[in-house]
Amino acid sequence: MADNNSTLLYDNELNSIYHYDENLSSLIFFTIVYVLVLISGLVGNFIVLFVILKNNDLKHFTNYFFANLSAADVFVLLFCIPTAIHDIWAKDQWYMGKFFCLSNQYIESCATSVSSLTITAISFERFIAICEPFKVGIYFI
């Protein structure tokens, strides 16, 4: 009987170690993916902002929509990705301070709303430009 109990204990220890290794490797994998998304997103959006703001030929209301979308995406990246990384590592704890706890949800919601509404405005502008090209100046200038 004691031999059977020790075998069960040994199997449980192996399962918990395997589960811990699997969990740790998935945490590291998702952290790397999040960091890569953060870096590539920031670089890409800052390039878009830099090109639109520095090139005088691109200063047009359509491109301002894209600049607004890039700025909103920068806020989404800066506020959503770090909290996502925090959430996968610190399961039921919050280590990022009281102010960030109180303001983070509001900023995330505003940034994603601005991003979605900018895409809606771009779609509406493209619809007007295709269906009624002579009235684009009336609606957007």
pLDDT attached to residue 45: 96
- Based on DSSP, count helices (H) and strands (E) in the chain, helices before strands: 4, 0
| pTM of structure | 0.73
134-139 average pLDDT score: 74
CATH code of the domain covering residue 27: 1.20.1070.10
Residue with tokens 């009336």: 138
pLDDT band at 132 (very low <50, low <70, confident <90, very high): confident
Contact 34, 79 (CB under 8 A): no
Q: What is the pLDDT of residues 82-95, one digit of tens each?
A: 988 988 888 778 88
pLDDT per position as a tens digit, 17-65: 445 555 888 889 999 999 999 999 999 999 999 999 999 888 888 889 9
Structural domain span for residue 28: 2-140
The reported pLDDT for the residue numbered 47 is: 96
The reported pLDDT for the residue numbered 18 is 47
The domain total for the chain is 1
